[in-house]
Chain A
Amino acid sequence: MAQLIKQGQLVSNDEWHLIEDDAIIADYGIISLKRWQENAAALLPLAQAGKIGLLLNSDETADLIGDDCRQFVLIAVNFPKFSDGRGYSTARLLRERHGFKGELRSVGDVLIDQLFFMNRCGFNSFALRDDQDLNDALAAFATFTVCYQNDVNDQRPLFRRR
């Protein structure tokens, strides 16, 4: 079980879980993009009711779900390896282009030293890899107090603030 951080805190009673494409859909199941695309009409009420979430793999760009992302309360973006940085663009585009307001969760190879960047790109929950030290992880969100660029949390780059 991954350790989950949400709003700067450890969450222990989280019910969301990934569901394989051939498994039966259960509440708080996170389904694949493929399953959604093949069955969107039938799954829509479940998504809108907040009963299912969506998983985007690192090779699935935000544009593949597009504005439909707003139908979900939770989208998980998978980092198969920490060095695969596609999920950062996915997150920003879901937030900044497609107006996703729900819970955006990083899953997979999620390590302490990525949290600061992930947070800036719009993730607001983080399924830390098991072996990561939780206290170090919580501290990582405060690594920098200054950022040059704009990000999902502040649309103004430093040059519009300094």
Chain B
Amino acid sequence: MYVYDEYDQQLLNERVAQFKGQMERYLAGKIADDEFLPLRLQNGIYVQRYAPMLRVAVPYGQMNSAQMRALARVAREYDKGYAHFSTRQNVQFNWPKLEQCPQILADLAEVQMHAVQTSGNCIRNTTTDEYAGVIAEETVDPRPYCEIIRQWSTFHPEFAFLPRKFKIAVNAVPGADRAAIQVHDIGVNIIRNAEGQIGYRILVGGGLGRTPIVGEEIRSFLPEEDLLTYLDAVIRVYNQFGRRDNKYKARIKILVKALGVERMAELVEAEWERIKNGDSKLTAAELERVKKHFTDPAYKTLSDEPAELTSARAENAAFARWLQRNVRAHKQAGYAIVTLTLKQKGTPPGDVTAEQMDQIAMLADKYSFGEIRSTHQQNLVLADVEQSELFALWQEAKALGLATPTLGLLTDMICCPGGDFCALANAKSIPVAEAIQLRFDDLDYLHDLGEIDLNISGCMNACGHHHVGNIGVLGVDKKGEEFYQISLGGNAGEDTSLGKILGPSFARDQMPDIIAKILDFYVAKRSEGETFLETYRRIGHDPFKEAIYGPAH
């Protein structure tokens, strides 16, 4: 994991001091509300329905146990004892007091955490694969590149007031994509070219929100050392030409659509040509320096499938099921990757209590070199667990409610805060998630259904990624009442697709029944081994529509 040197720490300390000063000036009436807005946003503070909300950055999802404990302390001392992991690998606190935010940020800075640029019209936290560095399939570990992007984007002097927010995601796995790079402003796909050199395939203009668009390729291969100059070129073009007259048309995706990706590419190339050999070109020494922070931990020499694992699996069906769902193969023999699911029945997806956070930190120290990752699916990962300790870990995680064996299944939902917290919501989303969790709590049934992404957003801003859920649920407002529109066929993986709306929306209490009908129809139509998405893609949209609304007249 990246460890700050004196430069990084100095910069962060100066940021804490800056925001403390800004807050003082604001409270003294020297900064108007609308002028304080971007300052607090760039420090992660939204003002929401009931209270301000603080979004703390977890750069590309990496944390250590000390940081997790610090987050637990914040939850306990400044909030109501819990926190929320978001789909962009960050952590949100729903109830801090505005005046206390500078102190919270000072506390977090002591463990090298911050809320820099977690909100506002600037470059946001870069996200990546939660399995980075521990799976055999990846081309290279994407984390050093994410850290290089993090440093470059932090307080970039030219890009603090972009037309709109800007999100970059990085993926380095051929044939898979857990970072959803196709729905980001810039998607960076780390690849090797025919000569074996590392470089990047760059996508631009993806995004969800009101106008969901799948990103398009703007460069098929960018050499490794050119990453930052190229990003500078893309964002400089966007900063100059992106629309500023209408915030719903201000994302880069709208510019790319208006110009066409070929014209956009011409502008970017022309800009890049003029800066690519400047001093921002990465050096071998810098790549080396950052990569050194992400070397393997001190793995023992072990072999796969130790006897104690085999016997525990044979003797305990529940453990076997958890292994099957929530544990994944590791690149290192004798180790495994464990996902702790934050999808306990009765709690909103992504929520954890301060006690659970302390316990997770303890589990990380005990079983996984003290490191934890957050995921786009709102879960947590212990990435380096010895296989012989899986049973012990499972027992502890289970007692904490963190071992629901449903990773990737129906109830492993993504859900935004919705009307319970968010001022923009058309409808609540958490109660829908809870109703679905309660209705579908039979593990045999869930496992039989297989992998399904169900994503819920409380409005068309799409924080819950409903467009890319195999089943997407969107809260809509019908004459002041909360209704829910369903779409089918979305997918956020390597073959990203946007869901298609099924038909008229439903009231909240109808939702579990409607979801059940959709699932029953899938089960009736699937052929052997087919996932929900595969069946949907094979038989098409209309049969599902008919199953729910009856035959068209």
Contact = CB atoms under 8 A, between A and B. Distances in A.
Chains A and B bind each other: yes
Interface stretch (A11-19, A22-30, A44-52, A85-93): A85-93
List 10 A-B pairs, minimum CB-CB distance, nearest first: A85-B161, A120-B157, A159-B286, A146-B11, A148-B151, A117-B157, A88-B158, A144-B14, A155-B279, A89-B239
Interface string B14-26: 1100100110010
A52 B286 CA distance: 46
Q: Taking each of A86, A90, A145, A147, which has the highest tally of chain B beta carbons within 10 Å of its own beta carbon?
A: A86
A121 B161 CA distance: 13
A111 B7 CA distance: 27
Interface in A88-120: 88-90, 92, 97, 111-114, 116-117, 120
B283 A85 contact: no
Contact of A61 (B11, B162, B240, B279): B240
A151 B157 contact: yes
B362 to A, nearest CB: 34
Given A146-B11, A156-B279, A158-B151, A133 B160 contact: no
Contact of B154 (A143, A148, A156): A148
Contacts of B282: 159
Contact of B157 (A97, A133, A147): A147
Contact of B158 (A121, A136, A162): A121
A84 B160 CA distance: 10
B10 A85 contact: no
A39 interface: no
A145 B155 CA distance: 12
B367 interface: no
Contacts of A37: none
Interface in B26-55: 30-31, 35, 38-39
Given A88-B239, A89-B236, A133-B30, A146 B35 contact: no
B18 A146 contact: no
Nearest to A85: B161
Contacts of A150: 278-280
Nearest to B22: A113
A113 B274 CA distance: 30
A6 to B, nearest CB: 19
Contact of A136 (B30, B154, B161): B30
B152 interface: yes
Contact of B280 (A116, A144, A157): A157
Contacts of B159: 85, 88
B239 A85 contact: yes
A147 B155 contact: yes
A85 B162 contact: yes
A117 B151 contact: no
A146 B7 contact: yes
Given A61-B240, A117-B158, A147-B157, 10 more contacts: A88-B160, A114-B160, A121-B158, A143-B14, A144-B155, A146-B7, A147-B155, A156-B279, A158-B7, A160-B279
Interface in B202-252: 228, 236, 239-240, 244
Contacts of A160: 279, 283, 286
A83 interface: yes
A111 B32 CA distance: 11
Interface of A: 61, 82-86, 88-90, 92, 97, 111-114, 116-117, 120-121, 133, 136, 143-151, 155-160, 162
B5 A83 contact: no
A92 B7 CA distance: 25
Nearest to B287: A159
Contacts of B283: 159-160
B161 A82 contact: yes
Contacts of B263: none
Interface string B153-176: 011111111110000000000000
B257 interface: no
B121 interface: yes
A146 B18 CA distance: 13
A97 B274 contact: yes
A116 B11 CA distance: 14
B289 interface: yes
Nearest to B235: A89
A61 B158 CA distance: 14
A133 B24 CA distance: 13
Given A83-B38, A89-B239, A149 B121 contact: no
Nearest to A143: B18
B157 A85 contact: no
A148 B238 CA distance: 21
A143 B12 CA distance: 11
B161 A148 contact: no
A86 B239 contact: yes
A41 to B, nearest CB: 28
A90 B30 CA distance: 29
20 contacts: A82-B38, A85-B121, A85-B158, A85-B162, A85-B163, A89-B236, A89-B239, A89-B240, A90-B240, A114-B160, A117-B160, A143-B18, A144-B14, A145-B10, A146-B11, A147-B155, A149-B152, A151-B157, A157-B279, A162-B7
Nearest to B17: A143
Contact of A159 (B18, B21, B289): B289
B161 A83 contact: yes
Contacts of A121: 157-158
Given A89-B240, A157-B279, A146 B10 contact: yes
Nearest to A116: B157
A95 B158 CA distance: 13
Contacts of A143: 14, 18
Contacts of A149: 152, 155-157, 280
Interface string B513-550: 00000000000000000000000000000000000000
Nearest to A61: B240
Given A145-B10, A148-B11, A84 B280 contact: no
A144 B18 CA distance: 8
Contacts of B121: 83, 85
B159 to A, nearest CB: 7
A133 B25 CA distance: 10
B290 to A, nearest CB: 8
A88 B151 contact: no
A116 to B, nearest CB: 8
A88 B30 contact: no
A151 B289 CA distance: 22
Nearest to B10: A146
Contacts of B14: 143-146
